[in-house]
Amino acid sequence: MLPPPAHAVCKASHDIVCCPANCQEKALSEPITRRTGARRHGGHPRRASPMRPQPCLTSGTTDTEGTIMPMTQRHRRFLPRLRATLIASAAALACMLITLSAPFPASAVDQVTRTDDFERANGSLGANWVSDRGAWSIASGEALSAATPTNAVATYRPVQLGSSYTVSAQIRIVSSSPSGAEWSGIAANVRGTTSLDYYVLRVSTAGGARTGQWQLLKMAASTTPTVLAQGNMNAPYGSSLELNLGRTGTRFTVSVRNSDSGTTLVDTSYTLPTTDPTRVGGSAGLYSNTGNLRAKSFSLTTSTPAISPTATRSDDFERVNGSLGADWVSDRGAWSIASGEALSAATPTNAVATYRPLQLGSSYTVSAQIRIVSSSPSGAEWSGIAANVRGTTSLDYYVLRVSTAGGARTGQWQLLKMAASTTPTVLAQGNMNAPYGSSLELNLGRDGTRFTVSVRNSDSGTTLVDTSYTLPTTDPTRVGGSAGLYSNTGNLRAKSFSLTTSTPAISPPGTLDCTVDKGSYDFPDAQQQVLQTIPVDTTWAGMPVTQRVLTHNDDQYVAYYDGARRMTIAHRSLSDNSWTKKVLPSTLGWDSHNYISLGLDRDGNLHVSGNMHNAALVYFRTTVPGDVTSLTRVTTMIDASTENSVTYPEFVNRQDGSLVFSYRNGGSGDGVTYFNVYNEASSTWSRLVDEPLFDGNGSADNPSGTWNAYFENPTLGPDGWFHMIWVWRDTPDAATNSRLSYAKSRNLVDWFDSAGHALTTPFRYGEADVIDPVPDGGGLLNGNAKLGFDAEGTPIISYHKYDGDGNSQIYVARPDGSGAWDIHQISDWKGRWSFGGGGSLAFTVSMLGSEVMEDGNIRVEFTCSGEPRSIVIDGGLHPVAEASTPELPAEITDVRGTYPGLAVRLQTDLAGRNDTGTYYLRWESLPANQDSPRTDWPEEGSALEVVLLGPPSAQ
CB atoms within 10 A of CB 297: 24
Percent of the chain with pLDDT over 70: 87
70 has a pLDDT exceeding 70: no
| Structure letter (DSSP) for residue 94 | H
How many residues are recorded in the chain?
Answer: 955
- pLDDT band (50, 70, 90) for residue 955: low
Asked whether the CA dihedral 418, 452, 738, 508 is positive or negative, the reply is positive
Contact at 8 Å (CB) between 922 and 945?
Answer: yes
C-alpha separations of 8 from 515, 820, 843, 936 in Å? 18, 36, 12, 21
Average pLDDT over residues 779-783: 92
Least confident of 114-123, 343-352, 693-702, 797-806: 693-702
Q: What three-state secondary structure class fits 807?
A: coil
pLDDT 10s digits, 273-327 = 887 777 888 999 999 999 999 999 999 999 877 777 788 999 999 999 999 999 9
- pLDDT band (50, 70, 90) for residue 123: confident
Average pLDDT over residues 580-602: 96
Average pLDDT over residues 97-117: 55
pLDDT 10s digits, 694-735 = 887 776 667 777 788 888 989 999 999 999 999 998 888 888
**305: preceding bond cis by omega (within 30 degrees):** yes
Average pLDDT over residues 9-29: 29
Give the pLDDT score at 954.
61
pLDDT 10s digits, 912-926 = 889 899 999 999 999
- Element at 263 (helix H, strand E): none
Least confident of 23-27, 242-246, 271-275, 519-523: 23-27
SS3 content of the chain, % helix, strand, coil (to 5): 5, 45, 50
Give the pLDDT score at 93.
29
* Category of 20 on φ-ψ map: left (φ > 0), alpha (ψ -120 to 50) or beta: beta
Give the pLDDT score at 52.
31
Give the pLDDT score at 314.
95
34 has a pLDDT exceeding 50: no
Average pLDDT over residues 213-236: 94
- pLDDT band (50, 70, 90) for residue 43: very low
pLDDT 10s digits, 177-224 = 899 899 999 999 998 877 899 999 999 999 988 899 999 999 998 999
> Residue 872: beta bridge partners?
859, 881
Averaged confidence pLDDT in the chain: 86
Q: What three-state secondary structure class fits 642?
A: helix
C-alpha span between 715 and 886 (Å, rounded):
26
334 has a pLDDT exceeding 50: yes
pLDDT 10s digits, 939-953 = 999 999 999 999 887
pLDDT 10s digits, 361-403 = 888 999 999 999 999 999 999 999 999 999 988 999 999 999 9
Give the pLDDT score at 593.
87
441 has a pLDDT exceeding 70: yes
Average pLDDT over residues 584-595: 94
Give the pLDDT score at 10.
32
209 or 595, higher pLDDT: 595
Average pLDDT over residues 24-53: 31
